[in-house]
Structure 1
Amino acid sequence: MSVSFKTISIIGLGYIGLPTAAVFASRKVKVVGVDINQHAVDTINQGKIHIVEPDLDKLVHAAVTEGYLRATTKPETADAYLIAVPTPFKTSVNDLHEPDLSYIEAASKSIAPVLKKGDLVVLESTSPVGATEKMSEWLAQARPDLTFPQTHGEDSDIRIAHCPERVLPGKVLVELIQNDRIIGGITPKCSEVAADIYKIFLQGKCVLTNARTAEMCKLTENSFRDVNIAFANELSIICDSLGIDVWELIRLANRHPRVNILQPGPGVGGHCIAVDPWFIVSAAPEKTKLIRAAREINDAKPEWVIEKVKLAIADYLMGHPEKTVRDVRIACLGLAFKPDIDDLRESPSAAIALKIASQHSGTTIAVEPNIQMLPEKWNTRLELKSLHEALAHADILVLLVDHKEFKSMPAELLSGKHYVDTKGVLTVQI
């Protein structure tokens, strides 16, 4: 471990920042976590966590108890600062989703007053190409008494780099340690210094490049997955129109030694795959026909699912002429953007459930075993219930996420139910 990193500050204590802080602290390095969310700060300082991630609670509790991790709302002096804040969209204009760098800008300006010569600043937030350079410019404007790599190269007082996370929710602690990291400095020395900090805990390799290539690498990885998911989603729509079981079709096609079709679903969600391709499209709108088409296919899938739900309602009422639409009870199984996590960010499943609740005059139930309550900001007619309650009372099941609880549902409780299955779970069981 490099002796220069006695204290590390993590700016943003969400799904990436908090696990990163905990992993550093587990290596007996002093970590100061910073977040504007007072509830998150208070929770962490109690040795608890405000998100769901396997084994993270134990790691945070140990780090706080042993005095290696502390959270605060204002940055303090450290030797390295890792920025892990959101990069959402601005308001879409002409169907272009322009990235919003205001969180990165705010984080940069918040640490600027405590920077000192020799410090390292790493941008971990998934960012459009050029964001790391922009961050360095914001820091330079705030601290004209220090020198930065865009003007002083290898002789700069402050080192700047980009190192995007490459982890899977539900396996963050394992993948943080085991996965290779792409590290792109504004100068080669910046890359080397940034690599030193990750070597504190990293078992994978530190692969060095420049900042722009590192930024584009993360966007490329997620765009690759998005294009392949779009193929599966489009295939599911085609198969539905032709009366073909898409799940069986994919199983058969994947027996070819050079074919590996992904599984379709209700869309694409999360803070990466549903977002990152638009950063590339925004940067080169005339040159990104395939990437944009894939995004549009995946973004349109939730509406297709909702239309299937409307057809299921009509089919149910044909068999129950004594009932009206108001009598039909719908249960949406799953709200998270992927199985067995609590993360609702950019979730197509949540969007589908919310829209069904807003349009359906009857009862709409949501089942999400990984959360205790619905977000207050939703303020909808959607009711959060247990799986047992949903199976007992719902007339139509809409399977949106293949949580482990849904894969093990007793077959007898599913008998006679109408359903829309976006993940091939009920198709197998009923």
Structure 2
Amino acid sequence: MPTSTEQQVAVIGLGYIGLPTAALIARSGAKVLGIDVSAHVVDTINSGKVHIEEVDLDGLVQGVVARGTLRASLQIEPSDVFVIAVPTPVSEDNAPDISYVLNAARTIAPVLAAGNVVILESTSPVGTTEAMRDVLAELRPDLKMPHAGNGVADIAIAYCPERVLPGRILVELIDNDRCIGGITPRCARKALSFYRGFVRGACITTSARAAEMVKLVENSFRDVNIAFANELSLIADKAGIDVWEVISLANRHPRVNILQPGPGVGGHCIAVDPWFIVHADPENAKLIRTAREVNLSKTDHVLGRASDLIDTFPDDDIACLGLAFKPNIDDFRESPALEIAHRLARRYGRRVKLVEPYASALPMEFADTHAELIDIDTAIESCGIFIVLVDHDVFKSVPLDERTGKAVYDTRGIWRDQPERLTAKAMLRRVGD
């Protein structure tokens, strides 16, 4: 394999993972071609700008584009390494959809050459890397693809999932350990050599199927633990107990670390990936399925509680605070906050005001409503009801004192330390989770 400064690398998919990955590889000295199906994305990147919000990504992309180590295109070109980072959604019946991965394989097949390395990074059900290999083998019978025990192949194929936190993607792509699974051990070693060019974390090799499972297990673990917190919130709500206090006190036990409840679970990983395991083995994935159901039902619970509060004060406008799936980012994928706000907007129309500091315009989901995007100061002045759905830092600075008298449903617990500052009227109007 060429050295990192001589490598030609193609990254297929320039979204929340693909673009940061492409930019970091380009910073390491490789010549990187980013491939995307969107002409807007390609043109934006080639102008040195970004189409997604991520800390420090804009400056990095601007720099590597200016130096000529990163460019974007709609068309694939020959390369030494192909990194596939495309979506893997689930269908309405929660079955995994790997069509984007297989289409990416079809895209690169015509330009593959002996000695190339193909790496799948998309979160995928177990067996996807092998399915991708089979597509390449069918389209390029002139190249020997890797199979266990069939000797040295012309093409190395591996799976290496990302494990990053939005808002820290550039840091964690470099510093976090990587699990690199090859279809054969030689494939894993070839991919390992590539990642060592820009990753400081430990790079550990295994099989492709094990690496695929590792990624699903990581996100399912998180989903199960969040479900425990969300289920506690439902039980505490029914019993009239402050769940935030219960969790805080329970976490003082040296071996207890309960997560915080919320309006559900969102994002491109935790809300989706557990279904890959459930779909593959529904008979045994009982706990994982139940966790998904608990977290989905929490969104319906929040919608019901919010509606009850709104109906109690029919003359007040409603401020839905936050639409993103987690704080301090602009990512709305699978966001329970967005779903709740949209359903409230469809029901209550012009009364609903959306406060999302990381959006410059209303998401397209709200085109069928009369909801309005406003800032937090306008919400404080004009809205009598606050529905807190995301704990953006800016919301934590809002004072709930005797001057506000807001009716508050705080699903994130960001104001739980302020009730003593409320008037009796506001106290009566305040709702916990």
TM range (shorter): over 0.9
Q: Distance in 1 between matches of 2:82 and 2:253?
A: 47
1:3 is matched with: 3
Q: Tell me by how many angstroms 1:91 deviates.
A: 2.8
Between stretches 402-411 and 195-204, larger displacement belongs to 402-411
Partner SS for 1:33: strand
* Equivalent runs, 1:3-152 vs 2, <5 Å: 3=3, 6-92=7-93, 97-150=94-147
TM-score (norm 2): 0.94
* Equivalent runs, 1:27-426 vs 2, <5 Å: 27-92=28-93, 97-150=94-147, 153-316=150-313, 325=314, 327-381=315-369, 382-412=371-401, 415-426=404-415
Q: Distance in 2 between matches of 1:54 and 1:260?
A: 28
Q: Tell me by how many angstroms 1:3 deviates.
A: 1.9
| Cα deviation 1:211-257 (Å, max 9, x = unaligned) | 00000000001101100000000001111111111111111000000
Q: Tell me by how many angstroms 1:47 deviates.
A: 0.6
Q: Tell me by how many angstroms 1:329 deviates.
A: 1.1
Q: Distance in 1 between matches of 2:366 and 2:10?
A: 33
Partner SS for 1:371: coil
Equivalent position amino acid for 2:36 in 1: D
Quick one: structure 1 residues 427 and 62, their matched pair in 2 at CA, closer, same or farther if it must change by over 3 Å?
A: same
Equivalent position amino acid for 1:395 in 2: G
2:430 is matched with: none
Q: Distance in 2 between matches of 1:56 and 1:154?
A: 42
Partner SS for 2:241: coil
Equivalent position amino acid for 1:123 in 2: L
TM-score (norm 1): 0.94
Quick one: structure 1 residues 3 and 413, their matched pair in 2 at CA, closer, same or farther if it must change by over 3 Å?
A: farther
| Cα deviation 1:122-165 (Å, max 9, x = unaligned) | 00000000000000111111111111003774411111000000
Contact 1:391-1:414 at 8 Å conserved across structures: no
Contact 1:399-1:426 at 8 Å conserved across structures: no
Partner SS for 1:209: strand
Quick one: structure 1 residues 190 and 414, their matched pair in 2 at CA, closer, same or farther if it must change by over 3 Å?
A: farther
Q: Distance in 1 between matches of 2:224 and 2:54?
A: 27
| Cα deviation 1:375-411 (Å, max 9, x = unaligned) | 3354132221111111211121110010010011133
Q: Tell me by how many angstroms 1:342 deviates.
A: 0.2
Equivalent position amino acid for 2:32 in 1: V
Q: Between Structure 1 and Structure 2, how many residues are aligned? A: 417
Contact 2:148-2:183 at 8 Å conserved across structures: no
| Cα deviation 1:244-290 (Å, max 9, x = unaligned) | 11111111000000000000000000000000100000000111110
Q: Distance in 1 between matches of 2:280 and 2:2?
A: 37
Q: Distance in 1 between matches of 2:394 and 2:151?
A: 54
Identical residues among aligned pairs (%) = 55
Partner SS for 2:92: coil
Contact 1:11-1:34 at 8 Å conserved across structures: yes
Partner SS for 2:158: strand
Between stretches 367-376 and 60-69, larger displacement belongs to 367-376
Q: Tell me by how many angstroms 1:314 deviates.
A: 3.3
Contact 1:330-1:363 at 8 Å conserved across structures: yes
Contact 1:328-1:362 at 8 Å conserved across structures: no
Quick one: structure 1 residues 166 and 56, their matched pair in 2 at CA, closer, same or farther if it must change by over 3 Å?
A: same
Contact 2:350-2:372 at 8 Å conserved across structures: no
Partner SS for 2:346: helix
Q: Distance in 1 between matches of 2:406 and 2:126?
A: 49
Q: Distance in 2 between matches of 1:216 and 1:204?
A: 20
| Cα deviation 1:29-60 (Å, max 9, x = unaligned) | 11000000111111100111000000011110
| Cα deviation 1:154-208 (Å, max 9, x = unaligned) | 4111110000000000000010000000000000000000011110111111111
Contact 1:191-1:208 at 8 Å conserved across structures: yes
Equivalent position amino acid for 1:383 in 2: E
| Cα deviation 1:52-71 (Å, max 9, x = unaligned) | 00001111000000000000
| Cα deviation 1:327-350 (Å, max 9, x = unaligned) | 331111000000100000000000
Quick one: structure 1 residues 51 and 154, their matched pair in 2 at CA, closer, same or farther if it must change by over 3 Å?
A: farther
Quick one: structure 1 residues 315 and 214, their matched pair in 2 at CA, closer, same or farther if it must change by over 3 Å?
A: same
Quick one: structure 1 residues 68 and 428, their matched pair in 2 at CA, closer, same or farther if it must change by over 3 Å?
A: same
1:321 is matched with: none
Partner SS for 1:366: strand
Contact 2:42-2:72 at 8 Å conserved across structures: yes
Q: Distance in 2 between matches of 1:309 and 1:91?
A: 26
Q: Tell me by how many angstroms 1:362 deviates.
A: 4.7
